Structure 1
Amino acid sequence: MVFRPFPPHGRGGPRIREIPLRMVLPNLITVLAICAGLSGIRFAFEGRFETAVAMVLFAAFLDGIDGRLARMMKATSKFGAQMDSLADIVNFGVAPALVLYAFLLDRAGSPGWIAALLFAIACGLRLARFNVLDEDLERPAWQEEYFVGVPAPAGAVLVLLPVYLAFIGVYQPDRITAFAASAFTVLAAFLLVSRLPVYSGKKLRVRRDRVMPLILAVALLLLLLFSYPWHTLSAGIIAYLLFLPLSARAYAKRAQVEEAKPAEEKAADAEAGVDIETDESAEPKA
């Protein structure tokens, strides 16, 4: 015999242990996010653009909560982390680019298609760089408060700005606006792969006396989002674009302060950052 027979399952094979349902639930949400993103592409090519954009935004929402849910349920795993990373390229790169292309960029011909491809590629590069930086233990602790470049979820919402503006009647889609949207798409792709420091807000703390006003503000934002979704998204994206230079300026000032610190304070901050990283690494990202 050229090949040896496989051992029979059950008796000679390895025993498959049972997996708790809480370990599977975050991965099911990730799969649901992929289905929503791909469904958004289908609706776009069927001409149902509002539903398509809603599905892409829903996919981004699901993709944002699966990791947090896994950490809350203590159901993180390496498989979930890899699956989540692969889902991001679909939900934050491919789906928004194709929805925008079907809605407007196809009117620009090849330049529109090139812009869509560049955005999808830039999203993949951005996610790969995020995974590498996430494993960099020598990075100063204060730099973990900033993203390197615009994060992929924000880029996915940002690149659809021409669609939001068309929904509220700011312009009528034509060949000229298609070329303008293609340039904006290339700009969004550049922001993803740039070295622009963007404040993440991960370590932001709220004072006790500001909790209630913050809850009220979030409730107002949600009400506006449900009542006037495209107006709210358009205003939010424009505000986010204005925030980027302020974030870069704050990063530069923080870098000057850190450089001016004595060596002893830098060592103490680095040690504190390692302690925090060790505590967080007990529950890896899903």
Structure 2
Amino acid sequence: MTAIPSSAAPESAPPAGRRRGVLAAYVALTKPRVIELLLVTTIPAMFLAQRGIPSLWLVAVTLLGGAMSAGAANALNCVADSDIDAVMNRTKKRPLVRYEVPRRNALIFGIVLGLVSFAVLWLGANLLSAILATAALLFYVFVYTLVLKRRTSQNIVWGGAAGCMPVVVGWAAVTGKVEWPALVMFGVVFLWTPPHFWSLAMKYKDDYARAGVPMLPVVATTRQVSARILAYSWATVGCTLLLVPVTSWVYVAFAVLAGAAFLIVAQRMHAAVRNGRAYNPMKLFHLSNSYLALLFVAIAVDAAVGLPALV
């Protein structure tokens, strides 16, 4: 097993800037803003699995267990990455870097939160959903964080699989099994992750270079990165259309229109890079967040309305 790296400074070092309260620091360890997007994909998956509106109790329990599992993974990620977080401007205010939470406490917190999340999902939903959520947690920590992140430029491609699991967990919570529409939604998030994260990494590539993390924008030319972003964007939109057999015109119309907007921005960025013009990768990053969220809202609305599928 890969050892968890040590912090970049001793825990007795003085805090940088104003300290948060203890509760706020532990909440920050879970990276709430990351969890929000994961949960946005869980609810629509449950609606589609139910072909309508599932039990509100089941939705609440699944969201709670899923949020706790994702929070545990993020807390353990903070422990493992505290050394590189300390040298990156984007992450230098995280709790372990500011010595707001002792590393040992953060490690225990992450482990306990993961165990509780398993119990919540098992008792509140079913064993399969608990196993899937825990598998995603373990994959994120031991495969992505401790193995892939510091060793390959394809880290986010394969490591991003953990972030795709909420849709499968949500589906399993409703049906007790995993069926092909859940795998398609998994594929959508999987293919969406590289253009989403690489556009962010283009802005912060100096941060990653300073930390010694081989994110693609650090080790490849800007033109190569934008070309891969465009390719994955096309693949993402194509994958969304695989849900046509289980959705109506409501979802399909939105998937086509929103997908076209997503592709236009990705294409414009690539064209700007190719022609040596100024570009803003954060435009695509922010659009990608809205695109995925609204796409899954369309899935939920389509399922709740209950119109007949197109196929």
**Band of TM-score, shorter chain:** 0.3 to 0.5
TM-score of the pair, normalised by structure 1 = 0.37
TM-score of the aligned structures, taking structure 2 as reference length: 0.35
Larger Rg: 1
